[in-house]
Amino acid sequence: MTEPLSITASVVGITTAAIGSVKFLYTTIGNIKDVPTALGNIRSDLQAVEPVLQELYTVLESEDSQVLLIDDIKGAVENCNSACSTFQKSLDHWMRHATKYKAFWAEWTDRVKVGIFEQGTINVFKGRLNDCKSTLIMALSTSSVLLIALGRLTVTRQGFMMKEVKDSMLKSNELRLDKEKARANRELAAIESSLKQLSVSIRDAVNEESKRNLEQLLEEMQEQKASNEVFRKTCEEALFETKNIHNGIEQEIKNTKADNNGRAVAGLINTPGEVRNIKQNISDTSARGGSFAGAGIIQDLNLSIPSSGNE
């Protein structure tokens, strides 16, 4: 099993690469003379996502990085880095067709107005970039909310916060996550509709060049769908974690037993982080003949180590 520290280190490396890709693409577009508005607007999107990546890097370097949903964070940052690299290649391809910037961009802009290839690529890239930004913002903000609710992040001069205020803060985060999840679902429906239309266009393509361009756009849109799935999953997991803290966990555990040298455990065995308001109803737990039986919040238990008697 991969250790948490090594996972965090890998995300730090990917985040560093993504920050570099964002900066490089931002500079590249900025150096283009007479850049079309549709392309120039991408710089604003890049400018918006960079500080979020920088904040993520800072949090990953802190002691509370384990609160983040690391798997989803890694996927979001990888998508961001991949999106920037893919768009950089498309941009290089478009620019290779020019001998002079002005002449090229005038021709390119006209084609964008009547075609779907370049504009489609731009829209997909903006969608992937936005999904990455939204995923990171959701994870980072939820991380802060949970740290405050768990008392591990001080936000008042007195160093404590009333339960009512914490409950209100957690409830607000739940509502916000519900809205973001609904938005992600709407975006997914739009992406799937576009994918279907694009598949029909590929089938009816008038020539090989059009077919290749459409197939490339289809691949890029499938990557956008993957980015959306990471965003939706982050909302779901962040909502689950928030509700765990806010509403607590209820468990009813009965008849936990181990016989004939067997082992049995039950109830939040390796619970990550801290959980408040746990309600458990545990009964009939027993162990016989040197076996082990446990119930309720047992962390870091390795049952592969033979026991030497009742524990």
Is the pLDDT at 57 greater than 60? The verdict is yes
Those residues whose C-beta lies under 8 Å from the C-beta of residue 280, and which sit 6 or more positions away, are 250, 251, 252, 253, 267, 296
Asked whether the beta carbons of 60 and 11 are under 8 A apart, the reply is yes
Is the pLDDT at 247 greater than 60? The verdict is yes
Phi, psi angles (nearest 5°) of residue 293? -140, 130
Tell me the pTM: 0.69
pLDDT at 99 (0 to 100):
47
Is the pLDDT at 161 greater than 60? The verdict is no
In angstroms, what CA-CA distances link 293 with 40, 99, 181, 264, 279? 64, 76, 40, 5, 20
Q: What is the pLDDT of residues 114-160, one digit of tens each?
A: 345 577 888 899 999 999 999 999 888 888 887 777 665 444 444 44
Is the pLDDT at 273 greater than 50? The verdict is no
Is the pLDDT at 171 greater than 80? The verdict is yes
205 band by pLDDT with thresholds 50, 70 and 90: confident
Q: How far is CA 160 from the centre of its chain?
A: 30
Phi, psi angles (nearest 5°) of residue 102? -60, -45
Residue 56 or 276, more confident: 56
Residue 252 or 25, more confident: 25
Copy the structure tokens of residue 264: 């049995």
